[in-house]
Amino acid sequence: MIPLISRQLIYPLQEKILNRPTFSYLASLEKSQWFSRDDIESLQLQKLQTLLKTAMEHSPWHAARIEHAGINLDQLSFDALRKLPTMTRADAQQHGHEMAWQAVPGGAFRYTTGGSSGLPLIFYYGRARQASDAAGRIRARRWWGVDVGEPEVYLWGAPVELNNTDKIKSIRDGLLNQLLLNAFEMSPEKMSSYLAAIQKFKPRCIYGYASSVALLAKYGQQNNISVSLPELKVVCTTGEPLYPEQRQIISDYFNVPVSNEYGSRDAGFIAHANSHQQMLLLSESNILEVLDPEGNPVQPGETGEAVLTGLCSEAQPFIRYRTGDMLKLSAEADKDGRGLHVIEAVVGRSTDFLIHEDGSIVHALAAIYVLRETPGVEQFKIIQHAVNDFEILIVTNLFWQADALKVIEEKFKLRFGKGCISHIQLVAAIAPEASGKMRQVVSKVPTQF
């Protein structure tokens, strides 16, 4: 499909049929990103007031909390918002039916997402949330010179997308210039066909899980499969931490910059890196607080938990929602002059950190580097079941030596304590999580930051 037709006719027609205000919201985002920081925060408070008033009327669980906190919705401030206790994933699991507004204009749509706890979260989202996510991504793509309707490859594995990949959706993808490749199936044969399909498709953008795109790039490098993609502007990664060597592999192979995205199924699209690799918050749709364990805001540059208020989440409000993600805010401004808030680093989820036997917190990279620097390790997964109890799954290649087992065990003892026990299994393959993500590190030990 000619990109201009897709951009100006097909995509807008789809959104109009689905009653999603994506393009009107996109137009407002294109203007508001250039507001001053003060004006953007004034806009946030206006939207927050609307959200809280909607919650008072249609979400009994939130209404009770707002009343108990004594918040005056006609004299709202960020300080007043902090009077409201934070909400957790467990709150959304247990009280979702008391939060959801089923009669929200445009309809409420049920979604189930998994999590590291294994407990599913069922929640509802509306057309405003859908429009916010889509418009936020379109704007972020434009920062990299990619516009609506230009060819884009998705290396994706979320069941909600793949289960709907039928003939009608395939036609729709073609009309929107989108090619979906299954990140659940990353065998050598599949990856070879994916690279051929990407070469033929000539995308402007490639989008997918960081680990999946890195795995595909590494496969191409190791098997001397070159691709020539002169139209490609950027590879956008999402869904999991983007580690430095993954960024390097992807950038080297596809010969373009890598831009990371931050978001989640429950919280939605939150932030995206600009062309200067600054992570910019979708400030018009989100209020982001970064808090210490006592619930106090941390200073820019300090690590804390991301607590999010989704300003477009009226179908089921997520207000002061503890995401479990560990972030650092930046004191910098956007280098292109936008007023959007800047995130210095997405450090990882609380489950991406490990515990030393002395109780101290250790970043997942301390364990990851042990496996990365071991010859013969093709792929791995580290699971901390308890303090001093690690399960390590390893897919090996021709460079693997049997004595590496002892070396890995000793290095884990050096990093996590002399009592550390490593249960190492050599496996043929490592399955992705139910969401399609390939998590290198999983901690089942509670972490207190």
Q: Could you report the per-residue pLDDT of 14-45, keeping only the tens digit for each?
A: 888 989 999 999 999 999 999 999 999 999 99
> Which position has the higher pLDDT, 190 or 332?
332
Q: Hey, where are the domains in the chain?
A: 356-443
Query: Residue 197 pLDDT more than 70?
Result: yes
A 10 A CB-CB count for 308 gives 24
Query: Residue 269 pLDDT more than 80?
Result: yes
Average pLDDT over residues 263-287: 94
> Which position has the higher pLDDT, 65 or 360?
65
Res. 364 pLDDT band, cuts 50 70 90: confident
Q: What is the per-residue pLDDT across 294-329, written as a single tens digit (0 to 9) for each?
A: 999 999 999 999 999 999 999 999 999 999 888 999
pLDDT at residue 159, as a whole number: 46
- This prediction has a pTM of 0.79
Percentage, residues of the chain above pLDDT 70: 90
pLDDT at residue 176, as a whole number: 75
Query: Residue 367 pLDDT more than 50?
Result: yes
pLDDT at residue 310, as a whole number: 97
Query: Residue 5 pLDDT more than 50?
Result: yes
Asked if 18 and 107 count as a contact pair (C-beta separation under 8 A), the reply is: no
> Which position has the higher pLDDT, 48 or 214?
48
> Which position has the higher pLDDT, 83 or 173?
83
Average pLDDT over residues 345-363: 76
C-alpha 370: how far from its chain's center?
26
3-state SS string over the chain?
Answer: CCHHHHHHHHHHHHHHHCCCCHHHHHHHHHHHCCCCHHHHHHHHHHHHHHHHHHHHHHCHHHHHHHHHHCCCCCCCCHHHHCCCCCECHHHHHHHHHHHCCCCCCCCCEEEEECCCCCCCEEEEECHHHHHHHHHHHHHHHHCCCCCCCCCEEEEECCHHHHCCCCHHHHHHHHHCCEEEEECCCCCHHHHHHHHHHHHHHCCCEEEEEHHHHHHHHHHHHHCCCCCCCCCCCEEEEECCCCCHHHHHHHHHHHCCCEEEEEEECCCEEEEEECCCCCEEECCCCEEEEEECCCCCECCCCCEEEEEEEECCCCCCCCCCEEEEEEEEECCCCCCCCCCCCEEEEEEEEHHHEEECCCCCEEECHHHHHHHHCCCCEEEEEEEEEECCEEEEEEEECCCCCCCHHHHHHHHHHHHHCCCCEEEEEECCCCCCCCCCCCCCEEECCCCCC
Res. 240 pLDDT band, cuts 50 70 90: confident
Average pLDDT, the chain: 89
Query: Residue 256 pLDDT more than 80?
Result: yes
Q: What is the per-residue pLDDT across 112-160, written as a single tens digit (0 to 9) for each?
A: 775 443 446 889 999 999 999 999 999 999 999 999 989 999 998 644 4
Rg of the chain, C-alpha, whole Å = 22
Average pLDDT over residues 98-123: 79
pLDDT at residue 399, as a whole number: 87
Average pLDDT over residues 402-412: 95
Query: Residue 185 pLDDT more than 80?
Result: no
pLDDT at residue 65, as a whole number: 96
| CATH architecture classification, 356-443 | 2-Layer Sandwich (3.30)
pLDDT at residue 186, as a whole number: 75
pLDDT at residue 342, as a whole number: 98
Percentage, residues of the chain above pLDDT 90: 64
